[in-house]
Structure 1
Amino acid sequence: MDPYVLIVEDDDNISEMMTFYLSEEGYIIERAGTGPEGLEMFEARKPHAIVLDIMLPGLDGISLCQQIRRKSSVPILMVSAKHEVSERVNALLVGADDYLCKPFSMREFAARIKALLRRSQLNGGAEQPGEREDISPIAIDVERRTLFVRGAAVETTFSEFEIIKLFYQNPGKVYSRDELLNRIRGFDSFVTERAIDVHIANLRKKVEADPKEPKYIKTVWGVGYKFILE
Structure 2
Amino acid sequence: MESAKILVVDDEIGLLKLLEITLRKENFNHIETASTGKGALQRIKEKAYDIILLDIMLPDISGFELCTEIRKNTNTPIIFISARSTDFDKLTGLGIGGDDYITKPFNPLEVVARVKVILRRQKMNEHSQHQDTLFDYGYFIFNPESATLTVNNQPVECTAKELELLHFFCKNPNRIFTTAQLYEFVWGNDVFGEEKTVTIHISKLRKKLGDDTRKPKIIVNLRGIGYKFIPPNEAFICE
Give the TM-score taking structure 1 as reference length: 0.64
Q: Is the 8 A contact 1:75 1:97 kept in 2?
A: yes
What is the aligned-residue RMSD (CA, Å)?
A: 3.2
Distance 2:90 2:226 in 1: 31
Counterpart in the other structure of 2:49: 47
Distance 1:108 1:18 in 2: 11
Counterpart in the other structure of 1:26: 27
Tell me by how many angstroms 1:35 deviates.
0.1
Counterpart in the other structure of 2:230: 229
Q: 69, 86, 89: which one pairs with 2:88?
A: 86
Counterpart in the other structure of 1:214: 217
Tell me by how many angstroms 1:215 deviates.
4.4
Summarize deviations over 1:96-142 as a string: whole Å, max 9, x none: 100000000011111011111112222329xxxx9430642996434
Distance 2:36 2:10 in 1: 7
Tell me by how many angstroms 1:58 deviates.
1.6
Match runs of 1:49-68 below 5 Å: 49-68=51-70
Residue 202 of structure 2 aligns with an amino acid whose one-letter code is V
Aligned partner of residue 31 in structure 1, secondary structure: strand
Q: Is the 8 A contact 1:6 1:47 kept in 2?
A: yes
Summarize deviations over 1:142-198 as a string: whole Å, max 9, x none: 4343132375499xxxxxxxxxxxxxxxxxxxxxxxxxxxxxxxxxxxxxxxxxxxx
Q: 1:144 to 1:213 in 2, by over 3 A?
A: closer
Summarize deviations over 1:179-230 as a string: whole Å, max 9, x none: xxxxxxxxxxxxxxxxxxxxxxxxxxxx9527568345499xxxx9994432
Counterpart in the other structure of 2:178: none
Q: Is the 8 A contact 1:137 1:150 kept in 2?
A: no
Q: Percent identity?
A: 26
Q: 1:144 to 1:118 in 2, by over 3 A?
A: farther
* Residues 1:149 and 2:202 are matched in the alignment: yes
Counterpart in the other structure of 1:3: 4
Aligned partner of residue 121 in structure 1, secondary structure: helix
Give the TM-score taking structure 2 as reference length: 0.62
Q: 1:89 to 1:215 in 2, by over 3 A?
A: closer
Counterpart in the other structure of 2:149: 133
Distance 1:226 1:106 in 2: 33
Tell me by how many angstroms 1:54 deviates.
0.2
Distance 1:105 1:225 in 2: 31
Which structure 1 residue ranges, 5 or more long, are not aligned? 155-206
Distance 1:68 1:60 in 2: 12
Counterpart in the other structure of 2:79: 77
Residue 37 of structure 1 aligns with an amino acid whose one-letter code is G
Summarize deviations over 1:37-80 as a string: whole Å, max 9, x none: 00011111211100000011222110110111122111111011
Find runs of 4+ consecutive structure 1 residues off by over 6 angstroms: none
Q: 1:213 to 1:82 in 2, by over 3 A?
A: closer
Tell me by how many angstroms 1:4 deviates.
0.9
Q: Is the 8 A contact 2:7 2:52 kept in 1?
A: yes
Distance 1:86 1:123 in 2: 30
With 133-142 and 107-116 compared, the bigger mean Cα shift is at: 133-142
Which structure 2 residue ranges, 5 or more long, are not aligned? 128-145, 151-162, 170-181, 185-192, 232-239
